[in-house]
Structure 1
Amino acid sequence: MKKSYFILPISVIFHVVTINLILYLFTPETYGVGFSILYYNITWFLVTYSIDFYHLARRDGFMSNFGNFLRAFIIYGFVYFASFSFRDHIPYNFAYLMQIYLLICLTITAWRVFFFWARRLYRAKGGNYVRVVVIGRDDNLKKIRRVFDNPALGYRYEGYFDNYKSNSPTYLGDIKTAYTYIFENDIDEVYCMASKLSKIELKQFISIADNSLKKIKIVPDNKELISRAMSIELYDTVPVLNLRESPLEVEYANVVKRLFDLVFSSMVIILLLSWLTPIVYILLKLDSKGPLFFKQKRHGANRETFWCYKFRSMTPTKESDTVMATKNDMRITRMGRILRKTSIDELPQFFNVLKGNMSVVGPRPHMELHTQQYETSVDKYLVRHFLKPGITGLAQIKGYRGEIIDHSDIVNRVRLDIFYMEKWSIKLDVVIIYYTLVNAMRGQERAY
Structure 2
Amino acid sequence: MANVVDTRGELPFISAKRRSPAHVAPRPVGTVVKRSVDLVLAAFGILLLSPLLLLCCSALILFSPGPVLFRHRRVGFNGQTFDCLKFRTMAPDATERLQRLLESDPSAAAEWKATRKLRADPRVTLLGAALRRSSLDELPQLFNVIRGDMSIVGPRPVTEEELARYAYKVDAYLACRPGITGLWQVSGRSTTTYRRRVACDAFYARNWSMVLDTKIMLATIPALFEDAAY
Q: Settle same-fold status: TM greater than 0.5.
A: yes
Of residues 179, 191, 201, the one that matches 1:417 is 201
Q: Which runs of 5+ in 1 are unaligned?
A: 1-60, 64-226, 232-241
Compare relative contact order (CA 8 Å, sep 6+) and give the higher one, 1 or 2.
2
Match of 1:289, as an amino acid?
A: P
| Alignment length (residue pairs) | 200
Distance in 1 (CA, whole Å) between partners of 2:182 and 2:159 is: 17
CA-CA distance at 1:287 after TM superposition: 2.0
Which 4+ residue blocks in structure 1 deviate beyond 6 angstroms? Answer: 320-323
Aligned pair 1:342/2:137, yes or no? Answer: no
The offset of 1:229, in angstroms, is: 4.8
Matched AA of 1:431: K
- In structure 2, the partner of 1:256 is 33
1:286 aligned to 2:59? no
Q: 1:287 to 1:254 in 2, by over 3 A?
A: same
> Which of residues 59, 65, 76 in structure 2 aligns to 1:300?
76
RMSD after superposition = 2.7
Normalization by structure 2: what TM-score? 0.77
Which consecutive unaligned segments of at least 5 residues does structure 2 have? 4-17, 100-111
- Cα separation, 2, equivalents of 1:418 and 1:262: 24
Amino acid across the alignment from 1:305: T
Q: Which residue of 2 aligns with 1:371?
A: 163
Q: 1:299 to 1:260 in 2, by over 3 A?
A: same
Shift of 1:393: 0.6
Aligned twin of 1:444: 227
Determine which structure has more spread, i.e. the larger CA radius of gyration. 1
Deviation for aligned residue 1:430: 1.5
Q: Structure 1, residues 362-413: CA drift from partner, whole Å, max 9, x if none?
A: 00111222224x14xx4424421111110111111011x3477xxxx12211
SS of equivalent residue, structure 2 residue 184 = helix
Moved more, 317-326 or 294-303: 317-326
Partner of 1:426: 210
Q: Which of the residues 386, 390, 393 maps onto 2:179?
A: 390
TM-score (norm 1): 0.41
Equivalent AA in structure 2 for residue 424 of structure 1: W
Rate the CA distance shift 1:62–1:367 in 2: closer, same or farther, 3 A.
closer
Cross-structure match for 1:114: none
CA displacement at 1:257 relative to structure 2: 0.2
Contact between 1:229 and 1:422, CA under 8 Å: does it hold in 2? no
Q: 1:349 to 1:326 in 2, by over 3 A?
A: same
**Distance in 2 separating the partners of 1:289 and 1:229:** 53
- In 1, distance between residues paired with 2:2 and 2:71? 45
Among all aligned residue pairs of Structure 1 and Structure 2, give the percentage whose two residues are the same amino acid: 38
In 2: Cα distance, 1:292 partner to 1:402 partner: 24
Contact 1:325–1:403 (CA under 8 A) maintained in structure 2: no
Distance 1:245 1:302, change over 3 A: closer
